[in-house]
Amino acid sequence: MIQADKILKHIRLTEKSNKLSSNYGQYTFEIYPSATKYTVRAAVEQTFKVTVTRVNIQNRAGKPKKTRRGQPIHASDTKRAIVTLKTGDKIELTS
């Protein structure tokens, strides 16, 4: 049995992700670095009771930044998954 809380961190709600979900049935999740396409698919299907047709994964490198004092720091790396659902399936987002 897969533990979804060890794979999915949270769903990303941005203008772009909202447009993808309403037009194409694609939802964006932030995931843990050890997650794979197959584990993400299983976690989403188990958690939201939907059928996943495709999973794309993005490894996003953190950007160099500076503190208020001017000291250089590095933002953390993130891993995201864009999940495409079967036509007619939806994930209900409640706040």
Q: Is 3 helix (H, G, I), strand (E, B) or coil?
A: coil
Tell me if 29 sits within 8 A of 14, measured CB to CB.
no
Answer whether residue 54 is part of any domain.
yes
Whole-prediction pTM: 0.84
SS3 77: coil
Note whether residue 74 is domain-resident. Answer: yes
Instruction: Flag whether 95 is in a domain.
Output: no
Range of the domain at 30: 4-85
- Classify residue 51: in a domain, yes or no: yes
Domain with residue 28: its CATH number is 3.30.70.330
Residue 25 lies in a domain: yes
Tens-digit pLDDT profile for the chain (95 aa)?
678 888 999 999 999 999 998 999 999 999 999 999 999 999 999 999 999 999 999 999 999 999 999 999 999 999 999 999 999 898 887 75
Overall domain count for the chain: 1
- Domain assignment present for 37: yes
Give the whole-angstrom CA distance, residue 19 versus residue 35: 25
- Taking a C-beta distance cutoff of 8 angstroms, is the pair 11, 29 a contact? yes
